[in-house]
Amino acid sequence: MVKLIANSAAEGLLPLEGPGVTVAEPPMERLTSLAPLHGGLEAALEAAHGLALPKPNRTTGKAGVRCVWFSATHYMLIGPEPDASLSAHAAVTDQSDAWCRVALSGPRVAEMLSYLAPVDLREESFKRGHTARTLVGHMSASIIRTGAESYELFVFRSMATTLVHELEEALIALP
């Protein structure tokens, strides 16, 4: 019998190091899409996971249990197995294998990302807990600011190799 082994989306492609920037793949966590069906998701999420439903372009929670605004009609629960009670208020879909997630950190990370994303990611405009659905290169992406000098980036899993290539090119472009 064949034994299947789960590989991360960027398995063998990361880490990358550049001038003032480190790119790594964080440990795999469960990713669950929440698409509200009607009212009640906010109260259910609070009761089940202690999280507020994030406002547009924001996140709630902390490492291990977070909720990210992903679009006008979707949120991404990151970390825990979703409580069954959420299904009464949202379409709950496991997305763990659908996304490539990378962590970027360092004093020049916002500068590096400026080569790839048409969003002002400087700290004065894009604070910790902010998120944006945007382009990274030519790929649809979600960018989340996780700290003063750190971000997480999500692209579709099928774009993992392209993402790493684009990040390598941006690192080379840094003066």
- The pLDDT assigned to 23 comes to 98
Q: Residue 79: is its pLDDT beyond 90? A: yes
- The pLDDT assigned to 138 comes to 95
What is the residue-wise DSSP string for the chain? -PPP----TTTTT--EEETTEEEEPPPP-EEEEEEE-STTHHHHHHHHHS-PPPPTTBEEEETTEEEEEEETTEEEEEESPPPGGGGGTEEEEE-TTTEEEEEEESTTHHHHHTTT-SS--STTTS-TTBEEEEEETTEEEEEEEEETTEEEEEEEGGGHHHHHHHHHHHHHH--
Residues above pLDDT 90, as percent of the chain: 93
Q: Residue 1: is its pLDDT beyond 90? A: no
Condensed to tens digits (0 to 9), the pLDDT of residues 140-157 reads 999 999 999 999 999 999
Q: Residue 96: is its pLDDT beyond 90? A: yes
Residue-averaged pLDDT of the chain: 96
Condensed to tens digits (0 to 9), the pLDDT of residues 14-35 reads 999 999 999 999 999 999 999 9
